[in-house]
Amino acid sequence: MTADGPTPADAAAPSGAAPSAGRRPGRVANGFGRYLCKHVAGAAVSLLLVLFSSFFIFRLIAGDPIDQLTKERPVSPEERAALRAELGLDRPMWEQFWDYIIGTLTMDLGDSFQYRRPIFDLIVERLPATILLSGTGMVLAVLLGFWIGTRTGWRQGSRYDRGHVAAGLLLYSAPTFWLGMIVILVFARYLGIFPVNGMRSPSTPPQFWPQALDIAHHLVLPVLTYTAVVYAGYLMIMRSSILDEIGSDYLTTARAKGLRDDQVRDRHAVPNALLPTVTLVFLAIGGIVNGSIVTEAVFSWPGLGSLFVQAVFYPDRPVLQALFVLFSASTILAVLAAEILYWFIDPRIRKS
């Protein structure tokens, strides 16, 4: 390795060394500019690909929307043609494509077939419910997973470790809809301490606090289900990240200093082990928007996930198209944010 004697950093550290000090900030900014451009360009390309493919995928798989919209109703060919014209489906494909691209880029997502309302409004109405459910669940899952993962990794092979890994993986591999139904059966039906589904009861007084408590009451079971299914992923990542640190020399140093075992773990091992999990946390944040489709469906939670499921069954092509783009975009942007953050927390990226 490098190591000995004065490095360039030494030379720059004392007050002197004016020429290098003058050049440095510019070079760093340039490096960051190039790094940023590279990753923003990459994200933009991904977004465009998503935009293009969502237009074609749903035209390929959903069949003729007029058939879907008019099923079980006798309609004349004239009525069909009128409907086609109303939805703009009679225009050439390239024109529809162009409208779709421009519309999406200007936040005009078109109307839903099912609701006959602007999709943008539907999304805005339902987004808070989804963020409430997945956001709460995701935060709990990350905290719980990291907390247990740290402890299982620290005592690899112990009964605690084996028990938690087995339980976590069992829940991880359980189908969400099945676990959701079990949870509803036990807590809502037999014990009767939580509502079966929905986000609020109609009988609740309209004031802020009763409403907030009512929503929280409805939130418990979906969040419980969601957290139970995903926390094991974070547990395993944190566990292996801790295992990578165990045996490191700096932990021996910490022990030699007279720190207790938990101090060695929390002050030294955990901060080092958290570094590689940053991407994961950002992916989780990106996944908040689309993370709970099945959970929302099971608990009739009025969020984007339920909207998506309804749109699949209808099938409501413009809604599917818009949600597909939204879900993909949130993940792509979260990854981009993680990459930008790495520039600041990991000095090795700056050097390369």
Partner 1 sequence: MTLLEFRDVHVTYTGSRGRIPAVRGVDLTVEAGTTLGIAGESGCGKSTLAMAVLRLLPKTAEVTGEILLDGEDLLAMGWGRLRAVRWTGASIVFQGAMHSLNAVQRIGRQVAEPMLVHDKGLSAAAAAKRAEGLLERVGLPASRARSYPHELSGGQRQRVMIAMALACDPDLIIADEATTALDVMVQAQVLQLISGLVSERGVGLVMISHDLSVLSSVCDTAAVMYAGRVVEQGPAREVFAQARHPYSAALGAAFPVIGDPASRRNPGGLAGDPPDPARLPEGCSFRPRCAVAVERCGEAAPELLHIGGARSSACFVAQEGEPVVIG
Count of alpha carbons within 13 Å of 229, Cβ hemisphere only?
Answer: 22
Among 10, 79, 90, 262, binds partner 1 (CB under 8 A): 10
Near partner 1 in 232-251, by CB under 8 A: 248-250
Please state, in angstroms and rounded to a whole number, the distance separating the CA atoms of residues 52 and 72: 33
Q: Residue 265 Cβ, how far from partner 1 at the closest point, in Å?
A: 13
Q: Does 191 bind partner 1 (CB under 8 A)?
A: no
Helices (H), 62-76: 65-70
245 in Cβ contact with 253 (< 8 Å): no
Q: Residue 32 Cβ, how far from partner 1 at the closest point, in Å?
A: 18
Query: What SS3 string covers 230-290?
Result: HHHHHHHHHHHHHHHHCCCHHHHHHHHCCCCHHHHHHHHHHHHHHHHHHHHHHHHHHHCCC
Q: Does 279 bind partner 1 (CB under 8 A)?
A: no
Among 139, 259, 337, 340, binds partner 1 (CB under 8 A): 259
Q: Does 182 bind partner 1 (CB under 8 A)?
A: no
Q: Residue 267 Cβ, how far from partner 1 at the closest point, in Å?
A: 8
First to last CA, the chain: 16
Q: Residue 334 Cβ, how far from partner 1 at the closest point, in Å?
A: 23
Q: Does 20 bind partner 1 (CB under 8 A)?
A: no
Among 57, 61, 275, 283, binds partner 1 (CB under 8 A): 275
The helix or strand, by DSSP H or E, that contains position 210, with its residue range, turns out to be helix 208-245
Q: Does 268 bind partner 1 (CB under 8 A)?
A: yes
Please state, in angstroms and rounded to a whole number, the distance separating the CA atoms of residues 316 and 302: 17
142 in Cβ contact with 235 (< 8 Å): no
Q: Residue 6 Cβ, how far from partner 1 at the closest point, in Å?
A: 6
Among 1, 18, 60, 105, binds partner 1 (CB under 8 A): 1
- Sites of contact with partner 1 (CB under 8 A): 1-7, 9-10, 13-14, 248-250, 252-260, 263, 267-268, 271-272, 275, 347
